[in-house]
Amino acid sequence: MRGSSRQSYRRQIGVSQPTDSSEYESLTINDEGLLLLVWPRGVKITGPSARRAFDEVNRICGATRRPMLVDMATTKSVAREARAVFGEPCAASRIALLGRSPVDRVIANFTLGVSTVPCPTKFFTSRDQAMAFLREGLDDRTTCRQPAGTVGRSDCATGGR
């Protein structure tokens, strides 16, 4: 990383990087409070890798729901099991899927079309437009109550229901 991108990386908080290269590339909370999840180029997203990413989203957010940018450019495929995970509630209050090609759009539209998404979710090829969509959701951030005697998901994961 060079120049300004290195500086913005240093300002990010809540950084998580898995050790397995077949997993997501990075997960951060930027200085605006937005989650940034990056999948490696050419990744085949499996059910277990999707589960680990969503578990880490929940862990890194703690009791606060946040808008999330998912950079999925050049994803090769999303397994059925991964699509099921993506249909589950997590700490994301809204999701912007960022791709770069018509193939990315097809993968995103297929994933969204066969899964019920638990929060507002849209596909973008423009990072600026994706970030604007997420910033609209900054007011959607909520602090969640953890029910007594539970570990893991709070009432955020179910929208407080």
Cβ-Cβ contacts under 8 Å for 5 (sequence gap 6 or more): none
Each residue's pLDDT tens digit, 48-85: 999 999 999 999 999 899 999 999 998 888 899 998 99
Each residue's pLDDT tens digit, 146-156: 333 333 333 44
Indicate the domain borders of the chain.
14-140
Cβ-Cβ contacts under 8 Å for 106 (sequence gap 6 or more): none
CATH number for the region 14-140 comes to: 3.40.970.30
The pTM (predicted TM-score) of the whole model is 0.73
| DSSP notation for 124-149 | ES-HHHHHHHHHHTGGG--BPP--TT
Q: How far apart are CA 111 and CA 145, in angstroms?
A: 30
